[in-house]
Amino acid sequence: MGILDNLMGKKEAPAREGLPFNVSTSLRPVRLNARKENCLELLVTVANASDAPLMMSMAVEVPKPLGFENVSIAKIKEIRIGELAAQAEKTVSFSLCANSQTPAGTYAAQLTVSQHYRDYSHVLNYAKKSVEVRVV
C-alpha cells in the first residue's frame, strides 16, 4: 500500500477543495489480526499549501472494537500540532489497537484535521476523512 503508492506515484486527492492544507494517510502494517492483541500505526501527514503559517490539530475517532491501547478504553485521541510553517508538512502517528475481543471485519476510523485561529477553541477550517482499518 504505502511502498507501492510511492513507487507508482499515486497522490491522494485534497480532502476538500479550497483548503489551505492537504491531508494524506497511510497504515503500517496494512491490517490487524482478529482476536489478538496487536497494533498498527496510522500515519497522518498534513501539508501547508499556503504562504502563511497555520495553527493545526487533528483528532481520530475509532469504533467500539478498536482503541488506542490494548485495553481499548479510549475511543477519541486529539493531537495539537501547533504552528505549521508555510509550505511545510508534519507527520503524526496514531497507534490503533485490536484486542482479544475484536472480530474480523473492516472498520472506519474518522480523522478530523482542523485549522485554528487565535487558540484551539476557534476553528477556521476543517477536513474530515474516513480511514478503513482491516481486521483479518
- Write the CATH number for 87: 2.60.40.1510
Is residue 13 a part of any domain in this protein?
no
Q: pLDDT tens for residues 3-54?
A: 555 544 445 555 567 899 999 999 999 999 999 999 999 999 999 999 999 9
Nearest to 64 by CA among 26, 108, 94: 108
Q: Give the rounded percent of residues in the chain with a pLDDT score beyond 90.
A: 85
Residue 112 located in a structural domain: yes
Split into its structural domains, the chain has a count of 1
Hey, is 122 helix, strand or coil? Answer: strand
**Which residue segment(s) compose the domain that 83 sits in?**
20-135
- Measure the CA–CA gap between 34 and 36, rounded to whole angstroms: 6
Q: Is 28 within the bounds of a domain?
A: yes
* C-alpha cell recorded at residue 62: 475509532
Question: What is the chain's mean pLDDT, rounded?
Answer: 91
The pLDDT of residue 17 is 78
Q: Check pLDDT > 80 for residue 91.
A: yes
1 is a domain residue: no
Supply the pLDDT for residue 9: 44
Prediction pTM value: 0.87
- Evaluate whether residue 2 is within a structural domain: no
Task: Supply angle C-alpha 102, 105, 111, rounded to 5.
Answer: 85
Residues 6+ away with beta carbon under 8 Å from 103: 34, 35, 65, 135
26 in a domain, yes or no?
Answer: yes
